[in-house]
Chains A and B, each alone.
Chain A
Amino acid sequence: MSKGEPLLDVRGLSVDIRQGATALRVVNELSLTVRRGEAVGLVGESGSGKSMTAFAVMNLFPSPLARVAAGQVLLEGRDLAQMAPAELRATRGARVGMVFQDPTSYLDPLMPVGRQIAEPLRAHGRTEGLEARVLELLDLMELPNAARVARQYPHELSGGMRQRILIATALAMQPALLIADEPTTALDVTVQAGILKLLMRLRRELDLGVLLITHDLAVVAETCQRVNVMYAGQVVESNEVGPLFAAPRHPYTQGLLASILSPHSRAHSLFSIPGSVPIAGQWPGGCRFHPRCPIIRAGLCDTSAPALQARGSGADRCHLSGEPMAADAWRRNEATSP
C-alpha cells in the first residue's frame, strides 16, 4: 500500500493558543503520515485537538492567538515553516485542498457555484480554459447536468450538492492532499454515504492522499486505510484499520469502539466510558486518560505520562499495553461470554 516518501509527514507537532501571558497547549507532539492514494483517519471527540491539527497542517488558524509551537509539517518532503510567505500560499492552495463540515458557510451566496469553483484557478493565475475545467470538475463530482449546476447559486442546491461543490473547489488545482474535516457530519446518512463513496473514488482515481478528520469511528472503518485516535490533544493509538478495529490496544480506543451503538445494543446494556472528555487546560497529569481508565495502575498511570510506543503495525500510548488485562480493559468479552 505504501509507496516511497510520505506525502504529508507531521512530526512532533504542538499547537498553542495564547491566553494573556500564558499559552494553552491544545495539540501535543502529534505525528502522523499520509501517503499518496491513502486515506488516513484522525478520530477524536470534541476538544481532542483534531481540527486544530488540520489547521496547523495548513498553517491557517481561525484565530491569530493559535500558533505552531513545535514540530514540523513536511509536505512532499518540504518543510512548510521554511517557506517564504508567497511560496507557502502558492503551495498550500495548489498542493492541499480542504473541505469542512458546513459547506454553506464556505460558499458565497451571491455567486454562481461555477465561478466559485474557478476561483482557486484564478487566484493561482490561470486565465484560460476555466469554464471547461469547471465542467470537468462538476462531472468528476458526479453532478448531473454540469452546465446547469455551474450557473446555480448555493441556495438552489441541496446540502449534499453543496458539499460536492466545495470538494470540486478544493480539487480545482489538482492537489496531492485533501484534508476533510467532518465532511459529512451535517449531512443525512443517505447523503453521507454518497459523499464518502465519492471521496474514496477520488482517492483511487486521482491517487489523492486524504486526511479524514471525524468523530465517527464507523465512518473511518468504511473509508480509511490507517487511523489515528486522539484524546486530550495527543494521539493515543494509531494503526491500520484492520488491526485497530479487530484488537484495539488503548483502553480509550476500546471504550470508544464499545460505545458505538451496534445492532446488538440494548438500553439496559449500553456501554459508556465513565466521566467526560476533559477540556484543554484541564488535562490530568500522568496519562491523560487515567481518571476514566478501568485498569489504572496507581503510582504509574497517574504520575508518569506514557510515550507513544511502536508495537506491530501501530503504536499506542498506554503504560500497560501488552499486559493481559489491557487487551480487554473494560472486561467486555468476559461479561458477555457465558
Chain B
Amino acid sequence: MNAAATPPLLEARDLSRLFPVRSSGGLFRARQMQRAVDRVSLSIRAGEVLALVGESGSGKTTLGRMLLGLTAPSEGVILYKGMDIAAQSGEAARNFRREVQVVFQDTGGSLNPRRTIGQSVALPLTYHRGLERGAASAEVDALLDQVGLPPAHFRHRLPHELSGGQRQRVGIARALASNPALIIADEPVSALDVSVRAQILRLMFDLQRERRLSYLFITHDLGVVRAMADRVMVMHQGRVVESGDADAVLNAPRDAYTQRLLAATPVPDPSRQRNPH
C-alpha cells in the first residue's frame, strides 16, 4: 500500500472477528473460536469504489458490519479519516455515523411499514443534520427527485405500495439524506429483477460521480464488480485471497479460488454448453 499524504477515508488494519463455536467435547471443554474474519486489511480513498466479493460464509458481511461500527472487531483497528473509531465519542462519533451510511439488500425490511416514504427519508435530515421541518421537506423532495422517484407521486406512499426497485431507491435516498462520504452497500441489487437491476447500479454510479462518494460494494456477483468497482478484494473463509485492480483481477485471476468463482459464473452463451455425448 502506498503512503499518500492524506490518509484514506476508511482504513482497516488486521481486522479479525472471532465467534465461539460449539465443540463436541462437552460442557467443560475450552471454547473453540472460529475466525469469521481473519486479519483483513483494507483502505478506501475518497471517491473510490471497492468491491468485496465472496460467497456465503466468506466473512464479507461480518467485515461490512465491523466497518459500519455495528459489530466490534475482536482484533485490529478501524480508522476513519485517520482516527480510530473505537476511541471516538461525542461529536466525532456522530460524524462517523452520519458520514458512513449503509444500503441493504432488502430495503423493504428496514423501512417502517407505517411511515410514508417522505417521513422515512426526512428522519436522517432532522436527526443527523438538524434541519427544521420546512427545510427538511424541501430536501426530501430534492432527494426523491435525485433517485428518480417524482416526489409529488411518491412522498405520501407507504413502502408496501412500491416495487422492489423503487424501495431500493428509497433506501439510497435515505442513505444520501445524511450527506455521507462513504456508502457501504451490502448486496444492493441481488433481490431485484434482472430488468431493473441495472437501473439501480446506474443510479448509484451517477450519484457517486456527482457527489464524489466512496462505495464499499459487498456482493457475490462478479458482473456487479466489473461494472462498478475500481478495486476488488476476494474473500474466502474469512481471508482475503486476492485483491487488486478490478479489471486486472477479473481478467487474470491468480488465486485458485478466484479462478473457480469466475469459471462457475454462468454466461448467456449456449455454445458453451458442455456437449452431451
Chain A residues with a Cβ under 8 A of chain B: 45-46, 159, 188-193, 196-197, 200, 203-204, 215-219, 221-224, 241-242, 245, 255-257, 259-263, 265-268, 270-274, 276-277
B226 in contact with A263 (CB, 8 Å): yes
Q: Are B193 and A215 in contact (CB under 8 A)?
A: yes
Give the dominant DSSP class at A's interface. Answer: helix
> Residues 34-61 of chain B: 1 if any A CB is under 8 Å from the residue's CB, otherwise 0?
0000000000000000000001100000
Does B201 lie at the interface of the complex (its beta carbon under 8 Å from any beta carbon of A)? yes
CA separation between A261 and B228, bound complex, in Å? Answer: 11
The 4 closest A-B pairs by CB, nearest first: A261-B223, A272-B198, A267-B205, A188-B55
Q: How far is the CA of A256 from the CA of B269 in the complex (A)?
A: 14
CB neighbours of A159 from chain B (8 A): 56
Are A222's CB and B266's CB within 8 A?
A: yes
Residue in B163, B226, B271 whose CB lies within 8 Å of A277: B163
Q: A216 to B223, alpha carbons, bound, how many Å?
A: 13
Contact status B193-A189, CB under 8 Å: no
**Cβ contacts A to B, 12 pairs, < 8 Å:** A45-B195, A189-B266, A190-B260, A191-B55, A197-B274, A216-B266, A221-B266, A241-B270, A242-B270, A268-B205, A272-B195, A272-B202
Which of B165, B195, B261 sits near A256, CB closer than 8 Å?
Answer: B195
B88 within 8 A of A: no
The verdict on B2 contacting chain A, using a C-beta distance below 8 Å, is no
Instruction: Report the minimum CB–CB distance from B167 to chain A (whole Å).
Output: 11
Asked if residues B250 and A263 are in contact (CB atoms below 8 Å), the reply is yes
Q: What is the CA–CA distance of A312 and B125 in the complex, to the nearest angstrom?
A: 58
Known: A261-B224, A267-B205, A267-B228. A189 touches B265 (CB 8 A): yes
Could you tell me the distance between the alpha carbons of A256 and B268 in the complex, rounded to whole angstroms? 11
Residues of B within 8 A of A271 (CB): 198
- In the bound complex, do residue B193 and residue A221 qualify as a contact, i.e. CB atoms below 8 Å apart? no
User: How many residues on B have C-beta within 8 angstroms of the other chain's C-beta atoms?
Assistant: 41
Which residues of A have CB within 8 Å of B214? none
| Interchain CB contact under 8 A, A260 and B194 | yes
| Complex-state Cα separation, A46 to B165, whole angstroms | 12
Query: Does B1 make an interface contact (CB < 8 A)?
Result: no
The CA-CA distance from A188 to B219 in the complex, in Å, is 11
Which one of B196, B224, B264, B277 contacts A276 once the chains associate, using CB atoms below 8 Å? Answer: B196
| Given contact pairs A190-B260, A261-B198, A270-B202, A223 touches B273 in the complex (Cβ within 8 A) | yes
Give Cα A215–Cα B227 distance, bound, in whole angstroms.
20
Q: Which residues of B contact A261 (CB under 8 A)?
A: 197-198, 221, 223-224, 226-227
Q: How far is the CB of A321 from chain B (nearest CB, A)?
A: 19
Q: Is the beta-carbon distance between B266 and A190 smaller than 8 angstroms? A: no
- Residue ID in chain B nearest A190 by CB atoms: B264
Q: Select which of A189, A260, A273 is within 8 A of B264 by beta carbon.
A: A189
| A203, A218, A259: the one within 8 Å of B266 (CB) | A218
Q: How far is the CB of A80 from chain B (nearest CB, A)?
A: 29
Q: Which B residues form the contact surface with A (CB < 8 A)?
A: 55-56, 163-166, 193-199, 201-202, 204-205, 220-221, 223-224, 226-228, 250, 260-261, 263-274, 276-277
When distances are taken between beta carbons in the complex, the residues of chain B under 8 Å from A260 are 194, 223, 268
CA distance A256 to B165 in the complex (A): 16
Bound: A266/B209 CA distance, A = 14
Chain B residue at smallest Cβ distance from A268: B205
Q: Given that A245-B269, A277-B163 are contacting pairs, would A193 and B264 also be in contact in the complex, using a CB cutoff of 8 Å?
A: yes
Q: Using Cβ atoms and an 8 Å threshold, which residues of chain B touch A266? A: 226-227
Docked-complex contact A267 and B227, CB < 8 angstroms: yes
Whose C-beta in chain A lies nearest to the C-beta of B195? A273
User: Is B56's CB under 8 angstroms from A188's CB?
Assistant: yes
Residue of B nearest to A159 (CB): B56
B224 cross-chain contacts in A, Cβ below 8 A: 261
Contact of A270 among B55, B165, B201, B271 (CB under 8 A): B201
With a cutoff of 8 Å between Cβ atoms, the chain B residues found around residue A189 in the complex are 55, 220, 261, 264-266
Q: Which residue of B lies closest to A266 (CB)?
A: B227
Known: A188-B220, A193-B264, A276-B166. A221 touches B269 (CB 8 A): yes
A221 contacts B227, C-beta separation under 8 Å: no
Contacts of B164 in A (CB 8 A): 46
- Chain B residues within an 8 Å CB radius of A245: 268-270
Task: Tell me, in angstroms, the Cα distance from A241 to B227 when the chains sit together.
Answer: 26
Q: B198 near A218 (CB under 8 angstroms)?
A: no
Is B264 touching A267 in the complex (CB atoms < 8 A)?
A: no
When C-beta atoms are compared, the residue in chain B nearest to A257 turns out to be B268
Q: How far is the CA of A271 from the CA of B201 in the complex (A)?
A: 10
Interfacial chain B residues near A218, Cβ < 8 Å: 265-268
Q: Are B193 and A45 in contact (CB under 8 A)?
A: yes
Identify which of B228, B260, B261, B270 gathers the most chain A CB atoms within 10 Å of its CB.
Answer: B270
Residue of B nearest to A267 (CB): B205
Listed residue (B55, B224, B277) with the most chain A CB atoms within 10 angstroms of its CB: B55
- Shortest CB distance B212–A (Å): 15
Q: How far is the CB of A196 from chain B (nearest CB, A)?
A: 8
A142 to chain B, nearest CB (A): 16
The residue in chain B whose Cβ has the minimal distance to the Cβ of A263 is: B226
Tell me the bound Cα distance from A223 to B276 in angstroms.
10
Question: In the complex, what residue of chain B is closest to A252 when comparing beta carbons?
Answer: B195
